[in-house]
Amino acid sequence: MARTERGASAVEFAIVLPVLFLIIAGIVDFGRAYFYQIQLANAAREGVRAAVVGTLSTTQIEDRAKAAVGGIPVADLSFPGMVTCGTTNASVTAQASFQWLVMGPAIKIMGGTWGAGNVLSSTAVMKCGG
């Protein structure tokens, strides 16, 4: 190896490392978003099922939906417009939403804060039984 080529691999590594890190972080973050979306779908489905099958109050329905979610802080979930069955053959819609921060854990570890984030939501609709 010639004297002028010493350290070239270290420089190349230093140039490639940030790009590689961003690609890996993006893959992990996309996986987190997909996981959260699945959990929201489960929460909405459980909430609308509880509204259709039982005679529960709105608060009890929300509690059931929150219990169906794993891995999402329950305080960050919201269920706008959750209603119970009123009449036969009506339909009930449940929507679960969660504010997701892109690279949120990494930013929090470094002591920073991030903007408002993205809202992930899922909606489930079922027909009331009679």
In this prediction, residue 4 carries a pLDDT of 67
Tell me the per-residue pLDDT of 33-92, one tens digit each, with 9 for 90 and over. Answer: 898 889 888 888 888 888 888 777 888 888 888 888 877 776 666 776 666 676 667 777
Q: What is the mean pLDDT of residues 26-36?
A: 87
Give every CB contact of residue 104 below 8 A, 6+ residues apart in sequence: 114, 117
In this prediction, residue 43 carries a pLDDT of 86
Query: Which of 120 and 110 is assigned the larger pLDDT?
Result: 120
In this prediction, residue 93 carries a pLDDT of 78
Fold classified for 3-127: Pantoate--beta-alanine Ligase; Chain: A,domain 2 (3.30.1300)
Structure tokens at 100: 């997701």
Amino acid at 98: F
